[in-house]
Chain A
Amino acid sequence: MEKIFYEPFGNECELFEKAWKNNLPLLIKGPTGCGKTRFVSYMSNQLNLPLYTIACHDDLTASDLVGRHLIGAGDTIWSDGPLTKAVREGGICYLDEVVEARKDTTVILHPLADDRRILPIDRIGETLKAPDSFMLVVSYNPGYQNFLKKLKPSTRQRFISITFDFPRADQEERILVGETGVDSFTAKQLVSIANAIRSLKDQDLEEVVSTRLLIYSAKLICDGVDPVIACHSAIVETLTDDIETQIALDEVIRATFGR
């Protein structure tokens, strides 16, 4: 299996492993692009478990998770959904942006997420008991919740939780270098831009620059794009449509790279 790059920010790896050993489901909170999904892939890789990732949306139904009957030639065939597959195989099921899913959908996670660890599948009259190696992981971004969309307390209270934030400057630099091969000085400059822009959260910007966008910029720079232009398209244009905000952000980038 290919080695996945991940730079830990604290004891999250240990915590993940302990949670897995103790059959505890995990909730990861954090802004977009800060490494939640990468962390889960990394851990599934470390623990050598199959990973089923589901990106949640408001049309996601229980059968999208559990499975459905498909029509075959004159017959119907049952097809397992990703959640069922993960339970059967004893892998990790990761529901990304779980608040986007309808509340009646998330309820099917309840018996899996508490000490019963079962998945009742009414359609085929089967109740799966999750093997010890099965783990349920969900994530959401507390930043952009619609004010009517929130995780039900009854769902929330079945998980242990970790909060992810953007990495510390030195870690983020290492991530950029590790991910893209950019030189460490440029990585430092990119991170300094990111932290300047992050101070604008909630006041001037709805969403601030993620590690993912920094990686995009670093990749462009590595391939010979002028740093100011790379950051403009990977960061400034991505974050805002407002011209004045764009000018101000471009100035911050110029103040770092010179022109």
Chain B
Amino acid sequence: MEEFVGELWHKFITGIAENSNDKSAVELKDVRRILGIYFRALGGDVSLNISGSSATYHHARRSFFQKIAGSGKKIELSWRDTEDLRLPNKINYFQDKSLNLDLYFWLTGLATISITSSHDWMIKNQLATLALLDRFPGLQDRYQKLVTASLLLRRPPDQLPKEEAEIETVIRQALINPGSVTESIGNQRKSFQPVILWPHPSPPNTIPYGHKSEDAMDENHEPGKSEIVENKRKHSAERVDSEDKKNGLLLMFRAESIFSWAEFINVNRPHDNEDDLENAKSALEDMDKLSITRKGKLKASRLKFDLDLPPDSSDEAILKEGILLPEWNWKKQSLVPNHCSLKEVCSDTGVDGELPSNLKVIASKLKRQFESLVSLRYWQRNQQDGEEIDLDAWIRLRSDISRNMSSAEEGLYQAHFVKERDLSCLLLADLSISTDAYISDDLKIIDVIRNSLFLFAEALSSTGDKFALYGFSSLKRSLIRFDQLKSFDDNYDAKIKGRISGISTGYYTRMGAAIRHASSILVNQKTSQKLLLILTDGKPNDLDEYEGRYGIEDTRKAILEAKQMGLHPFCVTVDKDAKEYLPHLFGVNGFVLVSKPEELPEKLVHLYALLTH
């Protein structure tokens, strides 16, 4: 038995991320969607994404952990912030795969519980455990199994120095009998072994620009306590420095992958002494300052890459400038009026365009299909003239005659009619810089969008539905470019084709403003049905605060507004991660993901047919 425990222990210490062919491991990428649904079903915040946690140093017990593993090993724990529920990228603590999976479900379930009555990590986790087990008593068995298995991974108190042994005893008691430990260990927190069943005791701050965390789990920190944590951290930082001399930088930058580095980009950096040319060593210092400024006490700024912007095209005519639009700030839960300025432009190259020759065959095929798909034909009865006899009418006539009633006016034929379609559609295409990416050797996303616009216009022009085509991109809130390719009044002619040929990528994706402006155009159409079709390749984002949850919530608000105006917003995307956020924006039936972008042009047209049938 001891050998077995030793083996597990070894595995726990050394094999956290390495063993990729480990049969019992469960990876987050395989279960992320399932956990998302589970999280929401158990009452979790619907707007949170499930994402991988970066491996973090568990500062409080780091020295201990390093001692055991013989390295600066990191561990992936879970935590919640304003945008994400962070879960380990992989769990392979146990040899039994189902236990590893159960741990994922357990951590997800635990994250649905918010405990605000206590500030102490140890007490809070016990309360959360009790609350979850109370709500879902069926989890009891599994919790016990997980506790038993995870205790086997922990070093028993009798093998630990006195101080750590005391804490270990308390942790064990809290795990086995949640609710039984009522004394805080917060202020005397020294090193202890990480508790894989509980969330991170002091999650790294990944909230943009130093905003105070709005997470209920975090918000009740006592100032005094933060102080202590900070002091503690500073102490840790010194330790890192001294170790750095010995082991070299890679110790910290081992950080598993670029992913971790990307994680750090989003995080607070002290504003004052920021210098992008700092050498790696001071970057390392910054990293630890990250943790120190966890509560955003120092003024923080963010690392962003600006683009080398192309000059405005000379042949672009400004149709309307300075259109002011509001924007939704979810943190303040208010609509900020006149926050964005939009410019409606029309780039006429002066060159007449035509349908690219490689699209001609498919366009004519689609046109034919489309006509039969879309134009609703139906039989109208009681016609004076028509293709077929209306048997019903004939029977009626016979019976009327037999009753000596006159019904000479009735028509005895049925005729085929095409149903009047009372529909207008505005297609809004994302022309942000990301569409400049190649999806195959010779095709960029922007090319796919261009082809989609062409085929869409070809197909719709054959149905008689009213349609307009617009593109958008943005550069912060002061410059939102709204390209008019075809207004509702324009005829689809060579000039329009020239504009479609000429579309080029712009900057970023401030989707909310673009949707608001498009809605204001579409709502003026005098048809009874109005479809707002949005074509995009990714999440809303811009250079300023407009990204992540901010952008998503603003876009969501814009869509709700469009719905309230009686429009039907629908999104077509090629973003493979779209399932993470689009249901929140458009509802489960409000979008479609085209997984092969090269199929987008055809799919889009078919989709239109389905939507409006």
Contact = CB atoms under 8 A, between A and B. Distances in A.
A99 B203 CA distance: 52
B399 A204 contact: no
A202 B162 CA distance: 54
Interface string B126-159: 0000000001111111100000000000000000
Contacts of A199: 40-41, 43, 46
A251 B35 CA distance: 9
Interface in B90-108: 105
A181 B397 CA distance: 56
Interface of B: 33-38, 40-43, 46, 105, 109, 135-142, 392, 395-396, 398-400, 402, 405, 423, 529, 531, 568, 583-584, 587-589, 611-613
Interface stretch (A34-42, A69-77, A81-89, A171-179): A69-77
A205 B407 CA distance: 53
Given A199-B43, A200-B41, A204-B583, 19 more contacts: A76-B402, A123-B400, A147-B611, A196-B43, A197-B41, A199-B46, A200-B40, A202-B588, A203-B587, A204-B36, A204-B37, A204-B40, A245-B34, A249-B37, A251-B34, A251-B105, A255-B42, A258-B139, A259-B141
9 contacts: A63-B392, A199-B46, A203-B587, A204-B40, A204-B583, A244-B37, A251-B34, A255-B138, A258-B137
B141 A258 contact: yes
Interface of A: 63, 68-69, 71, 75-76, 78, 123, 125, 147-148, 192, 196-197, 199-200, 202-206, 244-245, 247-249, 251-252, 254-259
A197 B40 CA distance: 9
Nearest to B105: A251
Given A78-B399, A200-B40, A203-B587, A147 B136 contact: no
Nearest to A251: B38
A200 B38 CA distance: 9
Contacts of A255: 42, 105, 109, 136, 138-139
Contacts of A68: 392
A192 B240 CA distance: 50
A158 to B, nearest CB: 20
Contacts, number: 95
Contacts of B612: 147-148
Nearest to A248: B37
B584 to A, nearest CB: 6
A76 B42 contact: no
B138 A257 contact: yes
A54 B343 CA distance: 54
Contacts of B396: 69, 123
A159 to B, nearest CB: 21
Nearest to B400: A123
Contact of A256 (B38, B138, B141, B611): B138
Nearest to B135: A192
B42 A196 contact: yes
A34 to B, nearest CB: 19
B374 to A, nearest CB: 12
Contacts of B392: 63, 68
Contacts of A76: 395, 398-399, 402
Nearest to A202: B587
B395 A69 contact: yes
A147 B109 CA distance: 36
B587 A256 contact: no
A-B interface, 10 closest residue pairs, ranked by CB to CB distance from nearest? A76-B399, A248-B37, A258-B138, A255-B136, A203-B583, A196-B41, A69-B399, A248-B34, A248-B38, A202-B587
Contact of A203 (B46, B140, B529, B531): B46
Contacts of B34: 244-245, 247-248, 251
A200 B37 contact: yes
Contacts of B35: 248
In this complex, which of B137, B141, B405, B568 has the most chain A Cβ atoms within 10 angstroms of its Cβ?
B137
A247 B98 CA distance: 13
Contacts of B36: 204, 248
A202 B199 CA distance: 29
In this complex, which of A78, A123, A251 has the most chain B Cβ atoms within 10 angstroms of its Cβ?
A251
Nearest to B582: A203
A105 to B, nearest CB: 12
B141 to A, nearest CB: 5
A13 B423 CA distance: 41
